[in-house]
Structure 1
Amino acid sequence: MTSTFYHPDHPTIPITLPDDLSKDQVLSFHPFSSWLTTLTTSLTSQSSPSHPFSPSPYTLRSINVQSFDLFGSSRIGFLKLQADVRNEKGEWLPGAVFLRGPSVAMLVMLIPDDATADSDERYVLLTVQPRIAAGSLEFVELPAGMVDEQGEFGGTAAREMEEELGMRIPVGELTSLSELALGGGTGGDKWPTEKLGEGVYPSPGACDEFIPIFMHERRVPRGQLKEWEGKLTGLREHGEKISLRLVKMGDLWKVGGRDGKTLAAVALWEGLRSEGRV
């Protein structure tokens, strides 16, 4: 059995739910409301005569929620849906969507305290952990974590650094590379009515997740560097089995080459550094 309701902020769009999923659960799932607001806002950009879809604009006709996963007894963790987006000609846009909400990633760079200013010697902390979705038990990546319903990006980054790296960093000592690069706005988008998240979108063809990338840099005693290599971290009660890996900044693009977060962090850091902004 299914049920249908209309979102209070979007009363013309029918939303069909599977059995055992309630309207209240969906409305309280922030990634759903955020995605719906972002999409409908972007659709308004078609009103500009310069937009390529302006002659025959697309509209969101309906949403069919197909499946879901719960965190705990009732809170939605992940949502899979099909959005019907088409124009008056009957032309349609692919609308398979996996909703999980934003995450954060942290580029943590350690500089030996005896390194000279012109040596440019830096080391980066990566995590190695099982990623079943990738079929891997030893996936090398930038430390990262999901933003919860009431989460704030900087606070989430600081918490994940403490949980995964064992480093307690005040939020004020974190720098958002994504915010610096995107300029607190549309990041140079042609149609400024689109209000996308300030972060990298690893799979925009299917998933809403975007990842703001934060940076933290500190000097540490050279002898302390080896303490991080191979260190076991993570919340075991959450199924996290993480070990740390220390790599030279110059090798980061190769060692973390399978991880989109790592490659995005390298590009952002190098681009901003070339402009003298970090």
Structure 2
Amino acid sequence: MATTSFTIPTNEQQQRQKQEQLTITCPLDSNLSRDKLLSFPAFNIWLTTLHHSLSRQQQPAHEFHKSPYSLRKIDIQAVDYFGKEQRLGFIKLKAEVSNDEGESLPGSVFLRGGSVGMLLILQPDDVPSGSDKDKRAIMTIQPRIPAGSLEFPEIPAGMLDDSGTFAGGAAKEIYEETGLSIPQNELVDMTSLALASTRQGISHDADINSADNHSNHNSTSSENAEESLQNGVYPSPGGSDEFIPLFLCQKRIPRQEIQAMQGRLTGNRHEREKITLKIVPLENLWKEGLRDGKTLAAWALYKGLKQEGRI
């Protein structure tokens, strides 16, 4: 297969030290240019995140400090474009990440960027406020060809538009897939809420350890820096960059409106979406959506946050 290549800047620290450029190769017929690649949000997020993680190897306590890994080159194997405007959609690439001893890390990546998932909980407004009685969750049934299915059950979800916010993307997907118009301020970002709770716990533990262990008094903030992963669930980190922030919306509406949603045909027909709504008892959501990772993750976050009194 005929290929072409171009270079892009490496991370800032490497530029200052070595003035290196990262070589990108791609199929000649992919119509992928340097500018087009650098304007693709999914590529930029992935590359920035990886560079940050690689830079953490400078910390003496890092497992790979003595023989650090570097990103040597990127081979783009395939490119998919969306719509009449030929918007860059998916990239399949192989990243060569190795150290000076010739050891390499698995680097096959399906690059698609962020998505959003929504746990929509409906409750009849004739039930007393504060009660959990008769709560229902909205699921979508639709073809998912990658899974080999024509009727895959999952919570509402969708890819994030390039120019959108995650909350805005969630509100848009809710409307397209369910017909419900939900203001962004009624959405709770469960992933960020859970991460904030976890980080507070880590910070508290670190304060205790610092007080108890005087040998750590020279630690710097950079040495304690975490990886800069996205605030989302990674459903398949062994092969894809996709991350999914999971939102919660709880809404009280008339009982007959909930019943009328059962079996409703929805979706953006211009984007070939063929969606049927399924309304299930909230306590059965984990069983109804057990094959869908984001459904189970949303269920777990909801239960965990509710148990801690955070929602």
- Tell me, in whole angstroms, the C-alpha distance in 2 between the residues paired with 1:61 and 1:186: 32
Please show how residues 153-164 of structure 1 align to structure 2 within 5 Å: 153-164=166-177
Partner of 1:38: 49
Q: How far apart are residue 184 of structure 1 and its match?
A: 8.7
Please show how residues 105-120 of structure 1 align to structure 2 within 5 Å: 105-116=117-128, 117-120=130-133
- Tell me, in whole angstroms, the C-alpha distance in 2 between the residues paired with 1:272 and 1:132: 33
- Tell me, in whole angstroms, the C-alpha distance in 2 between the residues paired with 1:16 and 1:5: 7
Structure with the larger helix share: 2
Partner of 1:3: 4
Partner of 1:13: 22
TM, length-normalised to structure 2: 0.85
Partner of 1:69: 80
Pick closer, same or farther for the CA change 1:155–1:119 going to 2, 3 Å: closer
4+ residue stretches of structure 1 with deviation over 4 A?
184-191
What is the SS of the residue equivalent to 1:63? strand
Partner of 2:71: 60
Aligned length: 278
Percent identity over paired residues:
50
Deviations 1:133-163 (A, max 9, x none): 0000000001001011112100000011110
Q: Which amino acid aligns with 1:152?
A: T
Match 1:89 to one of 92, 97, 101:
101
Pick closer, same or farther for the CA change 1:132–1:186 going to 2, 3 Å: farther
Q: Which amino acid aligns with 2:182?
A: I
Deviations 1:74-133 (A, max 9, x none): 321100000000111111100000101100011000111222334443100000000000
Structure 1 contact 186–194 (Cα < 8 Å) conserved: no
> Is 2:298 aligned against 1:265?
yes
Q: How far apart are residue 8 of structure 1 and its match?
A: 3.3
Structure 1 contact 186–196 (Cα < 8 Å) conserved: no
Larger of the two Rg values belongs to structure: 2
Structure 1 contact 41–193 (Cα < 8 Å) conserved: no
Pick closer, same or farther for the CA change 1:56–1:90 going to 2, 3 Å: same
Match 1:215 to one of 241, 244, 248:
248
> Is 2:131 aligned against 1:98?
no
Partner of 1:166: 179
- Tell me, in whole angstroms, the C-alpha distance in 2 between the residues paired with 1:181 and 1:121: 26
Match 1:148 to one of 153, 156, 161:
161
Partner of 1:175: 188
What is the SS of the residue equivalent to 2:280? strand
> Is 2:39 aligned against 1:28?
yes
Q: Which amino acid aligns with 1:4?
A: S
Q: Which amino acid aligns with 1:63?
A: I
Q: Which amino acid aligns with 2:8?
A: H
- Tell me, in whole angstroms, the C-alpha distance in 1 between the residues paired with 2:199 and 2:92: 27
Q: Alpha carbon RMSD of aligned pairs, Å?
A: 1.9
- Tell me, in whole angstroms, the C-alpha distance in 1 between the residues paired with 2:232 and 2:3: 35
Please show how residues 197-212 of structure 1 align to structure 2 within 5 Å: 197-212=230-245
Q: Which amino acid aligns with 1:53?
A: F
Q: What stretches of structure 2 of length at least 5 have no aligned partner?
A: 12-19, 204-222
Structure 2 contact 137–280 (Cα < 8 Å) conserved: yes
TM, length-normalised to structure 1: 0.95
Partner of 2:220: none
What is the SS of the residue equivalent to 2:21? strand
Q: Which amino acid aligns with 1:52?
A: E
- Tell me, in whole angstroms, the C-alpha distance in 1 between the residues paired with 2:64 and 2:100: 12
Q: What stretches of structure 1 of length at least 5 have no aligned partner?
A: none
What is the SS of the residue equivalent to 2:54? helix
- Tell me, in whole angstroms, the C-alpha distance in 1 between the residues paired with 2:54 and 2:243: 19
> Is 2:59 aligned against 1:48?
yes
Pick closer, same or farther for the CA change 1:263–1:86 going to 2, 3 Å: same
- Tell me, in whole angstroms, the C-alpha distance in 2 between the residues paired with 1:100 and 1:186: 27
